[in-house]
C-alpha cells in the first residue's frame, strides 16, 4: 500500500522489488517469498546472528561466537545460503549478497561463486582484492578437478599470506625513502626498500600468471605447473624473513 501510494508499482517500467534475506524465515520459506519478490539480497551479518542467536555486538556472546565458530563462513550459514540460491534460481529469481563476509573472507567468497550467486557487494577497501578473488575462483572452478582445486587455492592463499607479511614493512620503507629525498639516507634503507618492493610486485605477478596459465590451458600436467610456481614461492618465503630481520634496526617490524 505504501508503494502504491507513492506510485511505485512492481513490474511497471522495469521496477523490481527485492527481499532482504536476513532472517531464517526468508530462507526456509524462500519459495513463498519468490511469489512476492523479484529476488533476494542476503544480509550476512544479521542472518548469521539470527540463525545462531548470538549477537555480534554483545560482549558476553562475542567469545561464544569465536569459540564455537558462530561465524558467516560456517556450515549452518552455508547451507542456508545454498538453499536460498537453489530455490530462487528454480523460480528464475536472482540472489545477491551485501554483507561484510565476502569482503573479509576469500574462502567464503569462493563458496558464493561456486554456488553461482548472481551478485556480490564488496566494501570499498576490499573491492580490488574481491574482484581478483572472484576472477581466480571462476577460472579454477571451471578448469580444474577437485584435487587440483585444493592445491591451487592453497598456492594462492600462501601467495596472499606472503604479500600481507610484507605489505606494512614495504609501506614504511617507502615512506622513509620518500621523506628522506634530498637528505642523507642510509643506503641500506633504500636497498631494502627496492628489494621488498620488487618481491611485492613479483608475488602479485606470480599469482596472476599462475591463474592465467590455468585459464589458457597451457599445461599437460597441473602438478608440474603447480611445482613450477610453488618453487618460486618457497624461495620468497625464505628471503622475506631475512629482509624483515635486517630492517628491524630501523624500527620496522
Q: For residue range 236-245, what is the model confidence (pLDDT) as tens digits?
A: 999 999 888 8
Give the burial class of 97: count Cβ atoms within 10 A of its Cβ; 0-12 exposed, 13-18 middle, 19 or more buried: buried
pLDDT-derived band at 218, boundaries 50, 70, 90: confident
- Which one has a higher pLDDT value, 151 or 52? 151
Measured in degrees and rounded to the nearest 5, phi and psi for residue 40 equal -130, 145
Domain ranges of the chain: 2-143, 146-250
What b/e sequence results for 118-131 when a residue is b if at least 16 CB atoms lie within 10 Å of its CB, and e otherwise?
Answer: eebebeeebeebbe
SS3 assignment, position 20: strand
Q: Which pLDDT does position 211 carry in this prediction?
A: 95
Q: Is it true that domain 2-143 has CATH number 3.20.20.60?
A: yes
User: Is pTM, for the whole model, over 0.75?
Assistant: no
The answer on pLDDT for 156 being more than 90 is yes
Q: Which pLDDT does position 177 carry in this prediction?
A: 82
**Cα–Cα dist 122/119, whole Å:** 10
The answer on pLDDT for 20 being more than 90 is yes
Q: What share of the chain is helix, strand, coil (3-state, %, to 5)?
A: 70, 5, 25
Cell match 634530498: residue? 182
- Tens-digit pLDDT profile for residues 83-122: 999 999 999 999 999 867 887 788 898 899 999 999 998 8
Q: 10 Å Cβ neighbour count for 217? A: 8
Q: How much is the average pLDDT of 188-212?
A: 90
The mean pLDDT value of the chain amounts to: 88
Cell triple for residue 148? 587440483
Range ranked top by mean pLDDT from 7-16, 79-88, 181-190: 79-88
Amino acid at each position: 500500500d505504501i508503494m502504491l501510494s507513492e506510485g511505485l508499482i512492481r513490474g511497471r517500467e522495469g521496477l523490481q522489488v527485492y527481499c532482504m534475506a536476513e532472517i531464517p524465515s526468508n530462507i526456509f520459506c524462500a519459495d513463498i517469498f519468490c511469489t512476492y519478490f523479484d529476488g533476494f539480497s542476503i544480509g550476512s551479518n544479521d542472518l548469521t546472528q539470527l540463525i545462531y542467536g548470538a549477537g555480534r555486538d554483545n560482549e558476553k556472546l562475542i567469545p561464544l561466537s569465536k569459540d564455537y565458530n558462530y561465524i558467516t563462513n560456517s556450515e549452518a550459514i552455508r547451507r542456508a545460503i545454498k538453499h536460498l540460491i537453489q530455490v530462487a534460481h528454480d523460480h528464475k529469481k536472482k540472489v545477491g549478497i551485501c554483507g561484510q563476509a565476502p569482503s573479509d573472507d576469500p574462502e567464503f567468497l569462493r563458496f558464493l561463486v561456486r554456488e553461482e550467486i548472481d551478485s556480490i557487494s564488496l566494501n570499498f577497501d576490499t573491492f580490488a582484492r574481491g574482484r581478483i578473488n572472484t576472477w581466480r575462483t571462476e577460472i579454477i572452478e571451471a578448469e580444474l578437478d577437485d584435487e587440483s582445486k585444493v592445491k591451487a587455492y592453497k598456492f594462492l592463499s600462501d601467495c596472499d599470506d606472503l604479500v600481507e607479511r610484507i605489505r606494512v614493512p614495504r609501506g614504511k620503507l617507502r615512506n622513509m625513502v620518500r621523506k628522506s629525498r634530498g637528505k642523507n639516507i642510509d643506503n641500506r634503507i633504500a636497498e631494502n626498500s627496492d628489494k621488498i618492493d620488487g618481491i611485492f610486485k613479483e608475488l602479485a605477478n606470480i599469482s596472476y600468471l599462475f591463474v592465467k596459465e590455468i585459464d589458457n590451458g597451457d599445461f599437460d600436467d597441473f602438478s608440474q605447473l603447480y611445482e613450477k610456481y610453488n618453487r618460486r614461492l618457497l624461495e620468497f618465503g625464505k628471503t622475506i624473513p631475512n629482509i624483515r630481520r635486517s630492517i628491524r634496526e630501523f624500527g620496522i617490524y
